Amino acid sequence: MSREQLAVQQARKSFLTGRSRPLAFRVQQLKNLLRFISERRRDISDAVKRDVGKSEHATELFETLGLEGEIKLAIDRMAEWAAPRPVEKTLVTLSDEVYIQPEPLGVVLIIGAWNYPWAVTLQPLVGAIAAGNAAVIKPSEVSSHSSQVMENLLPQYLDKDLYPVVAGGVLETQELLKQRFDHIFYTGSSTVGKLVMEAAADHLTPVTLELGGKSPCYIDNNCDLTVACRRITWGKFVNCGQTCIAPDYILCEPSIQSRVVGEIKKSIKEFYTDNPKTFADYGRIINQQHYKRIMTLMEGSTVAVGGDSDESQCYIAPTVLKDVKVESKVMKEEIFGPLLPIVTVSGVDEAIQFINGREKPLVVYVFSHNSKLIKRVIAETSSGAFLANDCLVHFTVSSLPFGGVGNSGMGCYHGQHGFDQLSHMRSCLIKRLNMEGVNSMRYPPHTAKKLSWARFLLLKQVNVSRLHRGATLAMLVALAVLVVKRFLRSG
Amino acid sequence: METQSQAVVDKLRAAFRSGVTLPEQFRRSQLTQLMSMIKDNEEQILEALHKDLAKPKFEAVLSEVDIVINDLHYALANLKSWMQPEYVSKNLATKFDDCFVRREPLGVVLIIGAWNYPLHLVLLPMIGAIAAGNCVVLKPSEVSPATDRVVAELVPKYLSQECYAVVSGGAEETKALLRNRFDHIFYTGSQSVARSILQTAAVHLTPVTLELGGKCPCVIYGQVDVAAAARRLIWSKFFNAGQSCVAPDYVLCSPATRDALLPAVKKSLEDFYGKEPQASPDFSRIVSDRHWTRLVELLKKTSGRIVVEGESNQKDKYIAPTVVVDVSEDDILMKEEIFGPILPILTIDSLEQGIDFINQREKPLALYVFSNESSVVNTVLENTSSGGFCSNDGILHMTLPGLPFGGVGASGWGSYHGRWGFETFTHRRAVMLRGWALERLNGLRYPPYADDRLSWLRWTASPKSSCSIL
């Protein structure tokens, strides 16, 4: 039996003992996870520094801050999320209990990504644990240092049978995907997302796919360009552009292009100094393969800012490309790097057309003072999320569902959405064997009279909250008496 | 064949792009038209259902016509509120921003129906799809051809032909249809077909809803009012001659309960269908020769003891309501979903044994428990998993539009009915409209990074930081 098979089997065996279900257990595991993050802060930031060159502060800001918030939220609200959710009844079920019961799915597979190796791998885990599941965690091998730290240290804090970390590359992932899971949560590229969904098809396993795409950023003439460009610069060059929700490219009118270039140049200097290469708060490209890929994307386009690079360090300067053509290399795939192309359009009409001619992205960004224009772009485009006048920050609002649509993904998480995504919402109708009189009109032999009663009682909805409990009971008793009289006594 | 279905999908996609399905008024008018379609043609519909399955009018009205009309009323009454943006709670840093979730249509969706409830299995999902603002391709089951024809004839007459299409045909036509790109595929049917649909959906990263089946167990245990339990069990089992995905497939009970149950079961059967069920207008027939043969083979090969009826007539596609006892767990009746009027009764020595038995098998679409003891009901509920759960009755849980109807594990993925149908065909888009002010507050997050900035940020971004002044 392979290592992967063993881990999954052990996780399933442990899940079947039922010990991941009690709320107290789930809370304890989440508290341990919180402790892990605070006690091992150094190990985590060292690993991230070696993986993507992120500074300690950046790691805390972009990886662990959000994670800690999610864990605390889950601990706080778990009882509420896990409680039965009552729903409206019909007349014939008035005295019954009708509710939706959230239940664990079983064993969840979480496949993480390398760009925010901690946030993107452990945040789904928070939802999985909160919902009472077991989870097999497969961190990305591309962020190898983080993967190693996770594999070595996480079992010291979490139940290692219920939440095993299985590190490895493509072969190990393929082996994992042959096993049967109750849900697969994948973060990564659309290409691999398709393979994951195909593999899941064998076992009819539902999936959540957090994928990518080219998130467009439209800058209207009518906006505060200085503030807009500052926010865009921040959103783009965080983690060297290796963020799934980074503004991928800019759309604006030719008349403001040089101002946009100028403002972004100013902001780059403000954030990363004249020499980003030596500045601690500017990162690196994850590896040679991606470095080469991004450098190739630059070919054929005009560099307006930056453009310098150093292969030995996987360093690419914050770069802006102007007058970019639609057929250029940089517009063919998700950049996932520090290149910011500007494509000029004649106005918002052309911008909307441009966006709609492409796959649905994770985010659509618009910068404008004109709320009518913003509303128009919302109404006429589709994307995982929409953010006006800033970048990335919708990620921090845990009450907003975080996910894609179409090519950018399916399903969502964060906050309660993560809990719900990794739960089964079981419909429950709890009846008793009495009040048989009311039931009788649905039994054969069928008569027209019985039919009209059945139609009325079985299918009409009642807003129970408006009815007093006493009135409800009285009505039911009267109904039962009436029906018994008509059907059980008469022939 | 391929170009035909492609032309249909292309036309619908162009209509969707034009934005015609978005306004509330349009959706409302289409839903109202759908309601007229059913009310105006109820006779014709009932006739078709009778042709396909010999469905008694009573059953057809309740389980096909009314369930759709009811859901239409529900959708029309709630459409406006479903379409409203949902404002969400924020943290301090986003206090002055607009944060809400917008419900948006997915685009062009495909609904593939099944033959056992051939009308509602295409129309109920369609209600959710229309309400959510999508264009829809319907593919009714060819195994129920009369209903297929009626749907294909009536839908274009009542609904917008630009936005909604019915495609009829068998396996080849369905394969051709599936090669097109859809924004959601809604499938009701078997697990094996579901697997190939998922493979096809993966190519385009199309999300799916799968309403599948399985063997729905029915536990009868502890203190039980046997007469009432028998009536409700028999009603839900033999409704549509057992051809319901949520029919109780088999019973688990103690030997003593079985002995008390059998006379009550026989009495209920006689009360409902008379001494000659074949002569009763209230008992359905098997949908096709193929399924009839399949069921008759099961009865021939079972090692159990047939204690009620067992008669059949091929020409009429009739199989009498049949009860089989002394069924072992590896009997042929326990190999796959029965989907017919055969009720095996298996005996258990304890409730734990029954629960283990259920848990060793795939998660079913529905799970039933009959007992006067609430502890028995709770024990089964808490120690098993299933799409839906109903105690002391059968099938009824699917008549409640507040409850999501769907499976889990091998019985399916996703759900519908009522609001859940609307949500299935909707993308929940997170929207955040930030202001231009408070750029100084934003400054906390810009490089160069510093410790003190970080602690401010922690405070403002935490979900618990709700300042009472604001």
Q: Do strands B108-112 and B98-105 pair parallel, antiparallel, or not at all (unpaired)?
A: unpaired
**At A436, which helix (H) or strand (E)?**
helix A436-439
Chain A residue nearest residue B206, CA to CA? A406
What is the token pair recorded at A280? 């601690």
Please name the residue that has the structure tokens 């009310």: B39
Buried b (16+ CB within 10 A) or exposed e, A90-116: bbbbbbbebbbbbbbbbbbbbbbbbbb
Instruction: Please tell me the predicted confidence (pLDDT) of residue A38.
Output: 94
C-alpha radius of gyration, chain A, whole number: 28
CATH number corresponding to B2-212+416-427: 3.40.605.10
Residue A192: inside a domain, yes or no? yes
Angle between helices A170-178 and A3-16 (to 10 degrees): 40
Q: Which residues contact A300 (CB under 8 A, 6 or more apart)?
A: A325, A328, A329, A330
Instruction: Please tell me the predicted confidence (pLDDT) of residue B455.
Output: 72
- Burial of A350 per CB tally in 10 Å (0-12, 13-18, 19+): middle
Report d(CA B324, CA B331) in Å as an integer: 11
Please name the residue that has the structure tokens 């403001």: A256
Q: Is the pLDDT of residue A373 over 60?
A: yes
Q: Which residues contact A21 (CB under 8 A, 6 or more apart)?
A: A104, A132
Q: Is the pLDDT of residue B302 over 90?
A: yes
Mean per-residue pLDDT, A351-366: 98
**Nearest to residue B314, comparing CAs of B331, B290, B350?**
B290
Give the structural domain span for A468. 461-490
For residue B369, give Cα distances in angstroms to B222, B260, B322, B325: 10, 17, 21, 19
How many structural domains is chain A composed of? 3
Mean per-residue pLDDT, A300-317: 96
In CATH, which superfamily holds the domain spanning B217-403? Aldehyde Dehydrogenase; Chain A, domain 2 (3.40.309.10)
Instruction: Please tell me the predicted confidence (pLDDT) of residue A74.
Output: 97
Report d(CA B87, CA B94) in Å as an integer: 13
Q: Give me the count of residues in chain B.
A: 470
- Residue A161 CA, distance from chain mean position: 26
CB contact under 8 A, B104 and A57: no
CB contact under 8 A, A429 and B397: yes
* Residue positions of B annotated with a catalytic role: 211, 245
CB contact under 8 A, B102 and A88: no
For A105-129, the pLDDT digits (tens) are 999 999 999 999 999 999 999 999 9
Active site residue A210: yes
Are A204 and A189 contained in the same domain?
Answer: yes
Q: Is the pLDDT of residue B466 over 50?
A: no
CB contact under 8 A, A443 and B415: no
Mean per-residue pLDDT, A156-162: 97
Reduced to 3 states, what is the DSSP secondary structure of residue A457? helix
Angle between helices A23-39 and A41-52 (to 10 degrees): 70
Report d(CA A19, CA A30) in Å as an integer: 14
Indicate the average pLDDT of chain B. Answer: 93
Residue A217: band (very low, low, confident or very high) from pLDDT cuts 50, 70, 90: very high
Report d(CA B191, CA B340) in Å as an integer: 18
A334, A248 contact by CB (below 8 A): yes
CA distance A25 to chain B (A): 17
Please name the residue that has the structure tokens 């409704």: B239
Report d(CA B434, CA B98) in Å as an integer: 7
A220, A251 contact by CB (below 8 A): no
Name the E strands within A272-396: 302-305, 309-310, 315-316, 319-322, 339-344, 363-367, 385-388
For B54-103, the pLDDT digits (tens) are 888 889 999 999 999 999 999 999 999 999 999 998 776 677 788 999 99
**Nearest to residue A137, comparing CAs of A164, A169, A159, A116?**
A164
CATH at residue A149: 3.40.605.10
**Nearest to residue A145, comparing CAs of A27, A283, A43?**
A43
Report d(CA B443, CA A96) in Å as an integer: 56
Residue A53: band (very low, low, confident or very high) from pLDDT cuts 50, 70, 90: confident
Q: Is the pLDDT of residue A458 over 80?
A: no
Q: What are the sequence ranges of the domains in chain B?
A: 2-212+416-427, 217-403
CATH at residue A279: 3.40.309.10
Are A242 and A317 contained in the same domain?
Answer: yes
Report d(CA A464, CA A438) in Å as an integer: 18
CA dihedral of residues B57, B58, B60, B62 (deg, nearest 10)? 150
Are A111 and A137 contained in the same domain?
Answer: yes
CB contact under 8 A, A382 and B429: yes
Instruction: Please tell me the predicted confidence (pLDDT) of residue A464.
Output: 45
* ipTM of this predicted structure: 0.94
Q: Is the pLDDT of residue A475 over 70?
A: no
Residue A486: band (very low, low, confident or very high) from pLDDT cuts 50, 70, 90: low
Among candidates B203, B404, B449 on the partner chain, residue whose Cβ is nearest the Cβ of A57: B449
Are A230 and A159 contained in the same domain?
Answer: no
Residue B209: phi, psi to the nearest 5? -125, 125
For B100-151, the pLDDT digits (tens) are 999 999 999 999 999 999 999 999 999 999 999 999 999 999 999 999 999 9
Mean per-residue pLDDT, A91-114: 93
Report d(CA A407, CA A403) in Å as an integer: 11
Q: Which residues contact A282 (CB under 8 A, 6 or more apart)?
A: A53, A237, A240, A272, A276, A318, B447
Residue A408: inside a domain, yes or no? no
Residue A152: band (very low, low, confident or very high) from pLDDT cuts 50, 70, 90: very high
- Is any Cβ of chain B less than 8 angstroms from the Cβ of A87? yes
Chain B contact probe: residue of A77, A237, A378, A397 with most B CBs at under 10 A: A397
Reduced to 3 states, what is the DSSP secondary structure of residue B5? helix
What is the token pair recorded at A72? 């605390």
Angle between helices A41-52 and A117-130 (to 10 degrees): 130
Q: Is the pLDDT of residue A313 over 90?
A: yes
For residue B99, which residues of chain A lie inside 8 Å, CB to CB? 394, 397, 399-400
Indicate the average pLDDT of chain A. Answer: 92
Are A170 and A65 contained in the same domain?
Answer: yes
Instruction: Please tell me the predicted confidence (pLDDT) of residue A355.
Output: 98
Among candidates A383, A450, A455 on the partner chain, residue whose Cβ is nearest the Cβ of B66: A455
Chain A residue nearest residue B366, CA to CA? A427
Q: Is the pLDDT of residue B469 over 50?
A: no
Half-sphere exposure of B257 (CA within 13 A, CB side): 25
Residue B424: phi, psi to the nearest 5? -60, -40
CB contact under 8 A, A388 and B432: yes
User: Which of these is catalytic: A217, A229, A240, A244?
Assistant: A244
Supply the pTM of this predicted model.
0.94
Are A333 and A471 contained in the same domain?
Answer: no
**Nearest to residue A414, comparing CAs of A125, A138, A189?**
A125
Instruction: Please tell me the predicted confidence (pLDDT) of residue B467.
Output: 39
Are A45 and A162 contained in the same domain?
Answer: yes
Equal fold, B2-212+416-427 vs B217-403: no
For residue A106, which residues of chain B lie inside 8 Å, CB to CB? 385, 409
- Is any Cβ of chain B less than 8 angstroms from the Cβ of A224? yes
- Burial of B468 per CB tally in 10 Å (0-12, 13-18, 19+): exposed
Buried b (16+ CB within 10 A) or exposed e, B6-30: eebbebbbebbeeeebbeeebbbeb
Report d(CA B128, CA B401) in Å as an integer: 12
Instruction: Please tell me the predicted confidence (pLDDT) of residue A488.
Output: 54
DSSP per-residue letters across A251-300: EE-HHHHHHHHHHHHHHHHHHH-S-GGG-TTS---S-HHHHHHHHHHHTT
Are A385 and A417 contained in the same domain?
Answer: no
What is the token pair recorded at B252? 């688990």
Q: Is the pLDDT of residue A31 over 60?
A: yes
Among candidates A198, A379, A401 on the partner chain, residue whose Cβ is nearest the Cβ of B101: A401
**Nearest to residue A91, comparing CAs of A389, A398, A453?**
A453
Q: Which residues contact A125 (CB under 8 A, 6 or more apart)?
A: A33, A110, A135, A137, A163
> pLDDT exceeding 90 applies to what percent of chain A?
82
User: Which of these is catalytic: A4, A63, A70, A210?
Assistant: A210
A–B CB contacts, 8 A cutoff, strictly below? 295
Are A190 and A319 contained in the same domain?
Answer: no
For residue B207, which residues of chain A lie inside 8 Å, CB to CB? 410
Chain A residue nearest residue B97, CA to CA? A388
Are A180 and A239 contained in the same domain?
Answer: no
For B434-457, the pLDDT digits (tens) are 988 767 677 777 887 777 777 767
Are A169 and A53 contained in the same domain?
Answer: yes
Mean per-residue pLDDT, A259-273: 96
For B141-186, the pLDDT digits (tens) are 999 999 999 999 999 999 999 999 999 999 999 999 999 999 999 9
B106, B134 contact by CB (below 8 A): yes
Return residues 62-81 of A near B (CB < 8 Å).
65-66, 69, 72-73, 76
For B349-392, the pLDDT digits (tens) are 999 999 999 999 999 999 999 999 999 999 999 999 999 999 99
For B234-267, the pLDDT digits (tens) are 999 999 999 999 999 999 999 999 999 999 999 9
- Burial of B290 per CB tally in 10 Å (0-12, 13-18, 19+): exposed
Are A95 and A238 contained in the same domain?
Answer: no
Residue A435: band (very low, low, confident or very high) from pLDDT cuts 50, 70, 90: confident
